[in-house]
Amino acid sequence: MGVVNVTPDSFSDGGRYVDPAAAVAHGRRLVEEGADLLDIGGESTRPGATRPLVGEELDRVVPVITELAAGGATVSVDTMRAEVADAAVRAGASVVNDVSGGLADPAILDVAAEHGVRFVAMHWRAHSAEMHRHAAYDGPGGVVGAVREELAARVAAAREAGIAAERLVLDPGLGFAKTPDHNWELLAGLGEIAGLGHPLLVGASRKSFLGTLLDDGAGPRPVDQREYAHAALVALLARSGVWAVRVHDVRATRDALAVAARWGSTGGPR
C-alpha cells in the first residue's frame, strides 16, 4: 500500500504532494514501482496534528482519487469522516482506511457497508492532538491484549453496521497512542491480533519508533533516514502473513519482499 499524502503537514512528506497534479504524479510513480494499492489521505495524523475542515479534506482527496482510479489504480481513502469516505468511493476508491476504526465518525461504517467496499479498522484511542495521553496499557495482556480486545469491539461494530466479515482488515495502529516499546511488543504479538480472524495491515514506514531505535546518541534518526530499518522490518513481516504493509518507499519495500520471498523458497538456512 503506497502512501499519497495530499496534506501540508504530514510527518514524512507534508506539503510535497499537496498540489493535486503532484499527488497524481506521485501515485503513478508508486504504481510503476510496484504498489498494489494507493492510500490517498487529506488529513495528517502525525502526533499533535490539527484537523482540516471537511471541505478542505474533500478538496484534497477527491480530485486525486478520481484521476488515479480512472487510470486503473486500486485506490484506498485514508479518512475518519463518513462524508469524505462516501465521496471518495463515488470517485473510485475501493477501500476505506479509517485510522479510528469507526470511532471518530460511526457513520463511516454505514458508508462502507452501503457501498460494499473493504474497510480497514485501525486501533485508535484519540485524535492526534491528544493521543499521547492515552498510551497506557496496564491491564491483563498488556498492549497486545488491549489492542486485541479493542479491535474485537471494532469488528463487532463493523459487522453490526453490515460490513461483511471478508471485507474487514485490521491494523494494530503502530505509533497511535503507543510508546516505542509498545510498538515492538505489538509487532511481536501480531499472531494474537490475527487470531481475530481478519487480515492485517501494518504501517511502520518511517515512524518515530524506528528513529528511536537508531538513536546513536545524537537523537532519534531523522524521518528520511529510517528506510533501511523499515526494509529490514518488512522482510521480517513478509514471513508473518500480513495482508499489506503501508509504505512511503515502494521500491525499497518491493526489494525487501523479493529477498524475503527468495529466502523463503530455499527453506531458510541449513
Residues tagged active-site:
207, 246
Q: Which of 99, 104, 173, 98 is nearest to 143 (CA)?
A: 173
Amino acid of residue 51: R
The cell for 127 is 485524535
Q: Which of 40, 38, 45, 39 is nearest to 9 (CA)?
A: 45
The cell for 4 is 499519497
Residue linked to cell 499472531? 191
Task: Tell me if 229 sits within 8 A of 248, measured CB to CB.
Answer: no
Q: Is the dihedral of CA 78, 115, 34, 195 positive or negative?
A: positive
Query: How is residue 221 annotated by DSSP?
Result: P
SS3 annotation, 10-64: CCCCCCCCCCHHHHHHHHHHHHHCCCCCEEEECCCCCCCCCCCCHHHHHHHHHHH
Q: Which of 241, 174, 247, 243 is nearest to 213 (CA)?
A: 174
Q: Which of 168, 178, 112, 109 is nearest to 147 (CA)?
A: 178
The cell for 113 is 457497508
User: Please, what is the Cα angle at 113 between 108 and 118, to 5 degrees?
Assistant: 90
